[in-house]
Amino acid sequence: MNLDTLDRDIDTERLVLRPLSEADLDDLFAVHGDDDVTHFLPSRTWTSRDDALAWLARHHAMHDERRVRRWVLVDRTDGRRIGDCMLFNFEAPAARAEIGFVLGRADWGRSLMREAAGALIATAFEALALRRIEAFADPQNGASDRLLRALGFVHEGTFRQRVVVKGEVRDSNAYGLLRDEWERLSLAR
């Protein structure tokens, strides 16, 4: 079992989650080139095409080492790539992995990432036989906290001084979602 089983599109009502490619970079500039969007992310804000290409090269290296899979969120109505989400830190023996997500500011507040992350979580639990999915978010990141809780994640604690974001040492809230919790929630939806 490895991440190759996830090399495919994931369909939702309003979106197609499509494996990342270089053709996505122009649209993704509106996402990763916006300081408001990257505020809580360890990665730097893109200011040039070279930044985007360097980001893509890092992604490809991790992809080829089977450390990450990343999808762009394609809006079905107009084909715009409006953000991306990823699955990484997959540990097959422990049956766990971590998710991350980012959405362009123009599309915040439409529950689009809830739709995308929900589909990614369902696919990952199924395809990789995961027992647990993890996520980390800055304690000040209210939107991420709301989203993760809405997806069923439980806040399990705070890791102190875990990351450096834009040169500042920051704590991280740790969240976990267990497969049986997800299945119960899915049945109730």
Binding site for ligand COA (CB under 6 A): 37, 40, 101-103, 108-114, 137, 141-144, 146-147, 150
Q: Would you say 115 or 181 has its CB closer to ligand COA?
A: 115
CB 6 within 8 A of CB 20: no
Q: Would you say 42 or 57 has its CB closer to ligand COA?
A: 42
CB of 78 vs ligand COA, minimal distance in Å: 17
**Distance (Å, whole) CA 51 – CA 54:** 5
Q: Would you say 58 or 110 has its CB closer to ligand COA?
A: 110
CB 165 within 8 A of CB 41: yes
Cβ partners under 8 Å of residue 95, min gap 6: 128, 129, 130, 131, 132
Start-to-end Cα distance in the chain: 29
Beta bridge partners of 132: 96, 178
Residue nearest to ligand COA according to CB distances in the complex: 142
Q: Would you say 46 or 101 has its CB closer to ligand COA?
A: 101
